[in-house]
Chain A
Amino acid sequence: MVSVLGADRVGIVAGIAGVLARHNVNIVDISQTVVRDIFSMIMVVDISKADVDIGQLRRELEEEGRRLGVLVGVYHIDVFRYMQRI
């Protein structure tokens, strides 16, 4: 699960998706909203065929986030499964 939060600007989706594509990470689901100029995007991604582990992917996505001026978080789907499903 990749979350992106920050001020809206050109190139956020492209920047994040670029990092994912570079490492063969498949985007399974994507939802995106802009409320009062705050950009919010949530992606469910599959890293089973990726060429990096989740730690390395997180570091690169966070670095891309800093370049874009947005906050990027990377979480395992189990966190949501445990907290939001009984």
Chain B
Amino acid sequence: MRFEPEEIGEVLEMLLFRELDIRAVTLSVNTLPAVRPRIEDLLTALEEVLTPYLKRLRPAVERVATRLGVRIVTVRLAVSPVSILLEPLGDRDAAVEIAKHMDGLAEKYGVDMVGGFSAFVHVGASRGDRALMDALPEALNSTARVAGFLNVASTMTGVNLDSVKKAAELVMAMKPHAAARFAVTANLPEDVPFMPGAYHGLGLPDAVVNIAVSGPGVVEAVVRNLPEADVRTLHDAVKRAAFKITRLGELVGREVARELGVPFGSVDLSVAPSPKVGDSVAAILEAMGLPRVGAPGTIFALALFTDAVKKGGAMAASTIGGLSGAFIPVSEDAVMARAAAEGSLTFDTLKAMASVCNTGIDMVGIPGDASPDAVAALIADVMALAVHLDKPLGVRLVPVPGAKPGDVYELGGLYGSVAVVDASSYSRIPLVSRGGTAPPGVERLKKG
């Protein structure tokens, strides 16, 4: 097979100068064989289930990265929802122990994050769910690599306001670095490779490899090279770039799965940003012709981008999975963070953006003394969008003690700098205290 120098040059430019890399290889493992009625036995069994995979995971990823010459930024593990392991125990202290044990295993085997410290409570909470929820702040505050979520809404069952309110209380009890590893979600798919949404879904086999791609810099360069193009031409160019980016994820997924001897799951085609310059989704929107992300036109631009990424990426992956849309985490995207710090991105703008992407409100700082009512109501708004638009969305807020709107809190690494935004001028919102589950909408009825 021969390649034109231009074709080779294009790929080299993406890899060398446009920050094209693979965001994450996420190995998803069924940990339900470790269910035991005693915590000591459970921890031993959990280690027995995970160790054969963990021993091989990082070496396999490094072999593939070396062979291909492609950067793979993070190596992650997803486990079955820990709430299920807790059903026989029903004990919050046991939940904290499980989190610490998984944290230790991840560190020992060079795994950057472990996802699945999670529960599905979109209709109500069971014994294991309650133990997990009670443990969440301490479990995440006292670990560095464990991530989790509470799924509090679904198209099929509606929005559970009791779970929303509980989730808001839990977030407010977390330190910033812990809150960055926790999301409140709706309609979470079973094969998300991104954190904190990753867990091993109930429909999956013993283990699968899922891939998260990156590469906003590639798309930004394409858009900047087309200053005069109409939006249809722009859409087509973004689609072509998304194809190539996702294709790299497909290649890495196949190779890592082969190395590990486990099935290849899916590629999440979302083009994930990072706080690095030249790795921003918001910069793509601004390159399309916005003075700042958040300005009028933002929703139009984001919808155009999301649609093009989906259409290009879908063709490139043998199967798509996870969230597969567009990510606009505020702190993890330097241009989003700047707009939030300047005040051009508010919660209202982010909610509107959530209607045309798959993120929701992600990685936004709030004052540590923000009203729990306001936080719960904000989460409820995003959950309602998810249920009535029938798609996955999440809320990941970072309470910063002593901070005021406009302050910036440095989390570092892939998390970036968190801009603190005013949660609400209203401190009491009695609606959230009504509790109960809002019924599913007509999207549910369409499904029969």
Which A residues are closer than 8 A to B by beta carbons? 1, 3, 5, 29, 31, 33, 40, 42, 54-55, 58, 71, 73-86
Contact = CB atoms under 8 A, between A and B. Distances in A.
Interface of B: 1-3, 5, 7-12, 14-16, 66-70, 244, 247-248, 250-251, 315
Given A1-B8, A84-B7, A84-B11, A76 B68 contact: yes
Contacts of B15: 73, 75, 79
Contact of B69 (A29, A40, A76, A85): A76
B15 to A, nearest CB: 7
B70 A75 contact: yes
A25 B244 CA distance: 29
Contacts of A5: 12, 16
A12 B15 CA distance: 22
Contacts of A55: 66-67
A70 to B, nearest CB: 12
A3 B247 contact: no
Contacts of B66: 54-55, 58
Given A79-B68, A82-B250, 5 more contacts: A78-B68, A79-B15, A79-B70, A80-B7, A84-B10
Contacts of B247: 82-83
A85 B3 CA distance: 9
Nearest to B63: A55
Nearest to A31: B5
Contacts of B70: 75, 79
Closest 6 CB pairs of A and B: A75-B69, A55-B66, A82-B251, A83-B244, A76-B68, A84-B7
A31 B8 CA distance: 11
> Which of B3, B15, B251 has the most chain A CB within a 10 Å cutoff?
B3
12 contacts: A1-B8, A5-B16, A42-B8, A42-B12, A55-B66, A76-B67, A77-B1, A78-B68, A80-B3, A82-B251, A83-B248, A86-B315
Nearest to A1: B8
Contact of B11 (A29, A40, A80, A86): A80
Nearest to A54: B67
